[in-house]
C-alpha cells in the first residue's frame, strides 16, 4: 500500500488551498469529495465474500472519476463489457497528440478543445479507412482522452484502439489490413489529415465565438493574431504514434484497459510529503522510460492535479465507426460470424493442403478467452479465492 495518497494530501492541505485561491464550484467540490473518500464522512457498508463466510465493514468510496481510490471497480466492469465484444483480430494502438502551443487554449476551453480532438482524430481514421485506395472498409475505434504528462502538466492526447481491418461496405466479409504493412496507411498521411481536420474545426469554433481568450491567451486574441497561430501550426509536423498489434494474446487485454481509468497521477507514484513538498516518481521517456524523482510544493502539486479535472458531463471514453453505441452490438456479432466462417474455410483449405496453421490460430484465440475469464482479481483476505461484495449499508 502507498505510504501517502492523493486523498491524504487533499485532506491535509486542500482546505488551505481552497481558502488561499478562493476556489468555488467544481474544483472546490473535487477537493472536498476526494478528501472524504473512504472515511467516516461518507459512511460505511458491509461486505461479504462470495466464496467463504468472511465479512467485514468498509468505508464508502466517493466514486468520482478523478479519484485514484475509485477506479478499480469501474475498470473491472468496463473491461468485462469490452472483453465480451473482443473481435478475434489484432488491435492497433494509436496516439494523437496536439502541439504544446495549444495547451493554454485547451485549459481555458476544455470542453470545446477536447471535443475537437475527438472529432478530428476519429474522422481522420474513419474517412481514410473507407477510402478504397487504402483499406476500403468500415472500421471501429475506442478512444480515451488523457490531458497530462508525467510531470502532471497539460499534455492533451488521445489513445485510440482500432482492430486490424474492418467490415466490408456490404457486410459480407472482413477486410484485413495487409500483414506486409505496419498500418493500412503511411503515418505522414495520417498526421497531415489529422492536422488539417483539427485546425479546420478550430477555425470554425473561433468563427462562431466558441473560444475564450482570457488571461494568458490575450496575445492570440483577435483575428490577425489567431490566424498567425494557425499559420504556424499548419507548418508543424503533428505527432501520431502507431503501435503494431502485439504478438501475445494477453496483451489484447492490456490494449483495451491500460489507459481508460488513469488519472493525472496514481497513489503508487507518490513517495512522501516533506517540508511542504510532494515527492513523486516520473517516467522519463527521453531516457528510455527510466524513472526519476521529482518534487513540487504542495500548492503546485494540487494546482497541477486540478488542471485535469474534466468538465461535468464530459465523456473521456468514446466509441466510433462500427463500435459506435447505436450499432456496436450488431456489428460485433456480424464481424465474429464472418471471421468464424473465414477461419473454418481456412481450416478446410489447410487440411486439404496438409497444413495445420488453423490449429495455431485456435490455440491463440483460446488463450485470449482464458485471459478474459480470469482477468478479475480476488480480494478476500481470508480464502484468497473470492471477491468481497456489497452486503448492505451500515445504519447511522
Nearest CA to 152 among 308, 309, 26, 278? 308
* pLDDT given for residue 355 in this prediction: 59
Q: Is the pLDDT of residue 109 over 50?
A: yes
The answer to whether residues 159 and 144 touch, using CB atoms and an 8 Å cutoff, is yes
The answer to whether residues 313 and 153 touch, using CB atoms and an 8 Å cutoff, is no
The answer to whether residues 284 and 290 touch, using CB atoms and an 8 Å cutoff, is yes
Across the strands, what pairs with 165?
A: 176
Q: 282 CB contacts (<8 Å, ≥6 apart)?
A: 150, 151, 269, 291, 292, 293, 294
* pLDDT given for residue 348 in this prediction: 79
Q: Are strands 174-176 and 239-243 parallel, antiparallel or unpaired?
A: unpaired
Nearest CA to 94 among 261, 234, 241, 208? 241
Nearest CA to 129 among 79, 175, 63? 175
Mean pLDDT, the chain, as a whole number?
Answer: 88
* String of DSSP letters for 4-52: S-HHHHHHHHHHHHHHHHT--HHHHHHHHHHHHTTSGGG-EEEEEESSS
* String of DSSP letters for 197-234: HHHHHHHHHHHTT-----GGGGGG-SHHHHHHHHHHHH
pLDDT mean over 112-119: 98
pLDDT class for 91, splitting at 50, 70, 90?
confident
Q: Is the pLDDT of residue 247 over 60?
A: no
Question: What is the crossing angle of helices 223-234 and 187-207, to 10°?
Answer: 170
C-alpha cell at 150: 508525467
To 5 degrees, how large is the angle CA 285–CA 288–CA 294?
A: 50
Q: Is the pLDDT of residue 249 over 50?
A: no
pLDDT mean over 4-33: 94
pLDDT mean over 346-352: 73
- pLDDT tens, position by position, 205-219: 999 999 999 988 999
Across the strands, what pairs with 55?
A: 48
* pLDDT given for residue 172 in this prediction: 96
Most confident of 3-17, 258-272, 376-390: 3-17
- Distance, in Å, from the CA atom of 181 to the CA atom of 95, rounded to the nearest integer, reads 18
* pLDDT given for residue 360 in this prediction: 54
- Distance, in Å, from the CA atom of 386 to the CA atom of 10, rounded to the nearest integer, reads 33
Q: Is the pLDDT of residue 48 over 70?
A: yes
Cα torsion 73, 75, 78, 81: sign:
negative
Helix or strand run (H / E) with residue 75: helix 71-84
pLDDT class for 290, splitting at 50, 70, 90?
confident
- Who wins on pLDDT, 325 or 249? 325
pLDDT mean over 215-225: 92
Q: What is the pTM of this model?
A: 0.87
Q: Is the pLDDT of residue 138 over 90?
A: yes
Across the strands, what pairs with 158?
A: 96, 145
Most confident of 62-71, 183-192, 293-302: 293-302
* pLDDT given for residue 255 in this prediction: 65
Amino acid at each position: 500500500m502507498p505510504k501517502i495518497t492523493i486523498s491524504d494530501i487533499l485532506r491535509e492541505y486542500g482546505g488551505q488551498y481552497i481558502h488561499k485561491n478562493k476556489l468555488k464550484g467544481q474544483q472546490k467540490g473535487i477537493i472536498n469529495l476526494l478528501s472524504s473518500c473512504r472515511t467516516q464522512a461518507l459512511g460505511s457498508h458491509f461486505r461479504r465474500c462470495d466464496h467463504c463466510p468472511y465479512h467485514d465493514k468498509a468505508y464508502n468510496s466517493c466514486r468520482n472519476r478523478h479519484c485514484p481510490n475509485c477506479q478499480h471497480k469501474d475498470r473491472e466492469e468496463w473491461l468485462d463489457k469490452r472483453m465480451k465484444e473482443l473481435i478475434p483480430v489484432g488491435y492497433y494502438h494509436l496516439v494523437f497528440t496536439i502541439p504544446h502551443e495549444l495547451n493554454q487554449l485547451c485549459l481555458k476551453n476544455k470542453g470545446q478543445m477536447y471535443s475537437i480532438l475527438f472529432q478530428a482524430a476519429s474522422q481522420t481514421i474513419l474517412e481514410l479507412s473507407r477510402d478504397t485506395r487504402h483499406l476500403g472498409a468500415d472500421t471501429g475505434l475506442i478512444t480515451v482522452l488523457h490531458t497530462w504528462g508525467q510531470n502532471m502538466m497539460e499534455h492533451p492526447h488521445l489513445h485510440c484502439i482500432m482492430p486490424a481491418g474492418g467490415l466490408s461496405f456490404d457486410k459480407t466479409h472482413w477486410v484485413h489490413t495487409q500483414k506486409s504493412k505496419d498500418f493500412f496507411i503511411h503515418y505522414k498521411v495520417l498526421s497531415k489529415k489529422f492536422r488539417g481536420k483539427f485546425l479546420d474545426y478550430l477555425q470554425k469554433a473561433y468563427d462562431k465565438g466558441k473560444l475564450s481568450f482570457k488571461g494568458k491567451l490575450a496575445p492570440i486574441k483577435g483575428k490577425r493574431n489567431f490566424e498567425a497561430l494557425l499559420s504556424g501550426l499548419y507548418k508543424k509536423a503533428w505527432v501520431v504514434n502507431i503501435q503494431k498489434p502485439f504478438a501475445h494474446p494477453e496483451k489484447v487485454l492490456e490494449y483495451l484497459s491500460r489507459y481508460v481509468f488513469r488519472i493525472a497521477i496514481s497513489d503508487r507514484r507518490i513517495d512522501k510529503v516533506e517540508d511542504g513538498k510532494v515527492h513523486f516518481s516520473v517516467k522519463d521517456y527521453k531516457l528510455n522510460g527510466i524513472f526519476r524523482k521529482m518534487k513540487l510544493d504542495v500548492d503546485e502539486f494540487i494546482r497541477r492535479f486540478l488542471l485535469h479535472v474534466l468538465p461535468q458531463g464530459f465523456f473521456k471514453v468514446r466509441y466510433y465507426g462500427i463500435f459506435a453505441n447505436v450499432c456496436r452490438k450488431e456489428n460485433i456479432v456480424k464481424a465474429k460470424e464472418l471471421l468464424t466462417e473465414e477461419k473454418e474455410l481456412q481450416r478446410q483449405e489447410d487440411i486439404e493442403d496438409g497444413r495445420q496453421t488453423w490449429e495455431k490460430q485456435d490455440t491463440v484465440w483460446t488463450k485470449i478467452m482464458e485471459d478474459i475469464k480470469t482477468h478479475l482479481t480476488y480480494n478476500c483476505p481470508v480464502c484468497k479465492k473470492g471477491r468481497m461484495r456489497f452486503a448492505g449499508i451500515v445504519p447511522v
